[in-house]
Amino acid sequence: MEENILLMYTHMKNYFKIILLMAILAIFNSCTYHRSKDVKNVIYLIGDGMGFGAVTTTLLTHEQVTGFEMAPVVGLQETCSADNHVTDSPAGGTALATGTRTRNGYLGVDPEGKQLTSILKKAQKMGKKTGIVVNTTLTEATPAAFYAGVKSRNEGYKIAEQFVESGVDVAIGAGQSVFIDRPDSLDLIWELKKKNYDVYLDYKYILGTDSEKYVAILPMSQVHRRNQPQGSRSALDGSVIGKATMRAAKGECIKEDTIDISNPSEYLSIAATRAIKALEKNGRKGFFLMIESAIIDGYGHNNDSEGMKLEMYDFNNTLMLMIDYVNKNPGTLLVVTADHETGGTGIAYNQHEVGKKSKVQLNFSTKGHTGTVVPVFAYGTGAEYFSGVMKNTDIPKRIELLMKNDRHTRKNKL
Ligand SMILES: [Zn+2]
């Protein structure tokens, strides 16, 4: 009898042990599930003026699979401003940064001139580190829409002052003239240093820095090859693929020291990688990084077919690196889009022999912007919320909801 009771007791003990173990496993699984669905880091990659013509030329000039083709989610975005079907960069940037359409010319303020709050500022309030990487000036319209508020993009000196107050942790771009030798003799480099920023005025310093809070304000010649003579631009045909792109396509690890730092065409890839290295030191709360490839727009304005192809080649290199990061870092969302299309860019008629490659030529219908929809590509955690047809203002709103990781709100509002 006693033996039976003892046996029953042992069975019960084992039974409870199994129940307890199953309960622990269930809790662990649900935590893991929720963690994998939470958006911790956001990378917002904007191609200024990057419409369907620009994207198509990338597809046609690359033999390997491009970053665009790797997108699990693709959508369309209406780019209008508050007062025009055709937006300019200040209003386009404002829509993508704040979720509000404004008048052309206005930057970071609503049509009445009231200051708006950008998604970058909201990320800061959530405790995330924030970064801006551009291949133009840090005070240009698109990056400025994330931290400034002015009624004209031409107020560069004022925008630079607003940048100093922005609280952005890492910023890499050009535009020294509005920070140094100002007519009001304010020394904004000194003001940045007073706010505990390390300030770098040459590209080489960002490559080795361990700083978690720095501003790199570089000469334009270091951030973009458009400032180099035409002849020194490397030629691009269908067989030329960047080293970084090749490695990313093969799934290999990309390290910044494997990229040619002397070539401004590699600048955006390297700067983005360096910024992430500093921002990810934040640990649990993650980061928000805005990257702008600004000069696609310039080549569209100039109707420069070869320039746009080169620029899109660089853009794809940066995109491949970011996809690589997303794949290795669950909890990272990458959204890629444009503020508007420039040039009315299309692919020119070019009949060629079957099975043979031929040179891709772009044609243009305007020297200005157009009001056509632009593509949206999304990768990583939360990417599924960027499919279908959206307004430019929907994108930051959706990023905000995903950063809040509020499933109830997300379900009802997206
Ligand atoms: Zn433009």
- Spacing, Cα 154 to ligand 1 middle (Å): 14
**What does the pLDDT read at residue 364?**
96
Is the torsion defined by CA of 77, 266, 310, 135 positive or negative?
positive
**Cα 323 from Cα 318, distance rounded (Å):** 9
**Cα 91 from Cα 225, distance rounded (Å):** 27
Q: Is the pLDDT of residue 48 over 90?
A: yes
Q: Is the pLDDT of residue 113 over 70?
A: yes
Q: Is the pLDDT of residue 400 over 70?
A: yes
Binned at pLDDT 50, 70 and 90, residue 410 comes out as: low
- Spacing, Cα 365 to ligand 1 middle (Å): 14
Per residue in 220-245, pLDDT tens? 888 886 654 444 444 443 334 455 55
Per residue in 139-187, pLDDT tens? 999 999 999 999 988 899 999 999 999 999 999 999 999 999 899 989 9
**What does the pLDDT read at residue 206?**
87
User: Picking from 17-31, 181-195, 282-296, 366-380, which range would have the lowest pLDDT averaged per residue?
Assistant: 17-31
- Residue (of 174, 138, 153, 156) closest to 108 by Cα position: 153
Residues of the chain with pLDDT > 90, as a percent, come to: 64
* DSSP at 357: -
The string of DSSP letters for 221-236 reads HHH-GGGS-GGGSPP-
| Residue 57 Ramachandran class (φ > 0 left, ψ -120 to 50 alpha, else beta) | alpha
- Spacing, Cα 49 to ligand 1 middle (Å): 6
- Spacing, Cα 221 to ligand 1 middle (Å): 20
Any idea which residue has 């990659």 for tokens? 45
CA-to-CA dists, residue 384 to 40, 281, 407, angstroms: 16, 27, 14
Q: Is the pLDDT of residue 376 over 80?
A: yes
- Spacing, Cα 298 to ligand 1 middle (Å): 6
- Spacing, Cα 262 to ligand 1 middle (Å): 28
Domain 45-348+359-413 indexed as CATH 3.40.190.10: no
First to last CA, the chain: 65
CA-to-CA dists, residue 20 to 28, 33, 146, angstroms: 12, 20, 50
266: exposed, middle or buried (Cβ count in 10 Å: 0-12, 13-18, 19+): buried
Instruction: Give the mean model confidence (pLDDT) for residues 338-355.
Output: 93
- Spacing, Cα 118 to ligand 1 middle (Å): 21
- Spacing, Cα 250 to ligand 1 middle (Å): 35
- Residue (of 265, 260, 361) closest to 314 by Cα position: 265
Query: Which segments of 60-148 are extended strands (E)?
Result: 73-78, 129-137
- Tokens representing residue 156 in the block: 């560069």
Mean pLDDT, the chain, rounded, equals 86
User: Picking from 20-34, 202-216, 285-299, 335-349, which range would have the lowest pLDDT averaged per residue?
Assistant: 20-34
- Residue (of 119, 142, 71, 146) closest to 395 by Cα position: 119
Q: pTM to 2 decimals? A: 0.86
**Cα 257 from Cα 169, distance rounded (Å):** 23
**Cα 281 from Cα 168, distance rounded (Å):** 15
- Spacing, Cα 277 to ligand 1 middle (Å): 31
- Spacing, Cα 381 to ligand 1 middle (Å): 31
CB 287, CB 41: distance < 8 Å? yes
Amino acid at residue number 207:
L
Instruction: Give the mean model confidence (pLDDT) for residues 199-225.
Output: 89
- Spacing, Cα 110 to ligand 1 middle (Å): 20
**What does the pLDDT read at residue 14?**
65
Per residue in 178-197, pLDDT tens? 999 899 989 999 999 999 99
Per residue in 304-345, pLDDT tens? 998 898 899 889 989 999 999 999 999 999 999 999 999 999
- Spacing, Cα 342 to ligand 1 middle (Å): 6
Instruction: Give the mean model confidence (pLDDT) for residues 385-390.
Output: 96
**What does the pLDDT read at residue 235?**
43
Q: Is the pLDDT of residue 258 over 70?
A: no
The residues spanned by each domain of the chain are 45-348+359-413
**What does the pLDDT read at residue 262?**
61
Per residue in 116-133, pLDDT tens? 999 999 999 999 999 999
- Spacing, Cα 205 to ligand 1 middle (Å): 31
- Spacing, Cα 368 to ligand 1 middle (Å): 7
**What does the pLDDT read at residue 224?**
80
Element (H, E) at 380: strand 374-380
Higher pLDDT, 22 or 57: 57
CB 20, CB 28: distance < 8 Å? no
Ion ligand 1: residues, CB < 5 A: 297
Orientation angle between helical segments 305-328 and 267-279, nearest 10 degrees: 30
**What does the pLDDT read at residue 130?**
98
Residues of the chain with pLDDT > 70, as a percent, come to: 79
Higher pLDDT, 387 or 409: 387
